[in-house]
């Protein structure tokens, strides 16, 4: 058996070669599209912050007392 004898090596299927090229092309186009739209679209204005809520002076922790019965 010589060193140049490649009879036992199976060639890759042609489908996988095209799939790798297609995947690389799709990722490249997606990156170019994202770069294009990020450079063309104007930046968004920052949103208005919600109004400040008044701070409570007391904090209740625990279980609230039961309501009184409404007169059975």
- Looking at residue 12, what is its pLDDT? 65
Length of the chain (residues): 72
Average predicted confidence (pLDDT) for the chain: 79
* Domain definitions of the chain by residue range: 11-42
In which band, very low, low, confident or very high, does the pLDDT at 15 lie, cut at 50, 70 and 90?
Answer: confident
- Looking at residue 49, what is its pLDDT? 78
* 23-48 pLDDT per residue, tens: 999 999 999 999 999 999 887 777 77
- Looking at residue 24, what is its pLDDT? 96
Q: Is pLDDT of 62 > 90?
A: no
Task: Report residue 50: phi and psi, to 5°.
Answer: -65, 155
Among residues 38, 40, 20, the alpha carbon closest in space to that of 30 is found at 38
């Amino acid at each position: 058996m010589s060193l140049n004898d490649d009879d036992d090596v199976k060639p890759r299927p042609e489908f996988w070669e095209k799939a790798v090229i297609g995947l690389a092309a799709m990722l490249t186009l997606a990156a170019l599209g994202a770069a294009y739209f990020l450079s063309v679209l104007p930046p968004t204005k920052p949103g208005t912050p919600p109004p400040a809520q008044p701070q409570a002076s007391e904090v209740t922790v625990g279980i609230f007392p039961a309501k009184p019965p409404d007169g059975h």
